[in-house]
Structure 1
């Protein structure tokens, strides 16, 4: 919002330079930029999982869709994405006893 408010002033360019430096401080520092970046990655992974399941013609219940789209654990999402190409049912992503359940 700050950048938008600065419009096309010289202060906007200074702001952008400052923000470039801030972004380089993650991962691992818990900055707002890092949080938003990781949220975006998780959202993209979830969309990918759902897309694979849809293309394969598997039924996706509201519960499965909610579990996938609300997950923020990137490792789990990566595993689900890998498995989404081979499961027989969407629910099988969460089979008890598997490392992703």
Structure 2
């Protein structure tokens, strides 16, 4: 009986609601970060394609799955001057 009262108590409802809101906010932040990384990674691949540089599947996979925005920025800069797709990873 006491447990049922606890779960129905307004304070318990408030705590659950705050937890849901916090979880939703974290999920949205993570989703935005992942979306940003995906967009930037796609830009790296587009730059290479616009420059008529063939992009092998292993390179495409590595770039597409990267979530480190700093690393993707480095690859973007390298893509502007690369002579082949492997040049993205030359200094790693």
Is TM (by shorter chain) over 0.5? Answer: yes
- Report what 2:61 is aligned to: 66
* Match 2:30 to one of 28, 35, 51: 35
Q: With structure 2 as the length reference, what TM-score do the two structures score? A: 0.71
Aligned to 1:86, the other structure's residue is in SS state coil
Structure 1 residue 47 corresponds to structure 2 residue 42: yes
* Match 1:86 to one of 56, 81, 88: 81
Distance in 2 of aligned mates of 1:44 and 1:82: 15
The alignment of Structure 1 onto Structure 2 pairs a total of residues equal to 70
Distance in 1 of aligned mates of 2:77 and 2:88: 10
Moved over 3 A (4+): none
Distance in 1 of aligned mates of 2:58 and 2:35: 21
**1:83, CA displacement in angstroms?**
1.1
Which structure would you say has the larger Rg?
Answer: 2
Q: With structure 1 as the length reference, what TM-score do the two structures score? A: 0.65
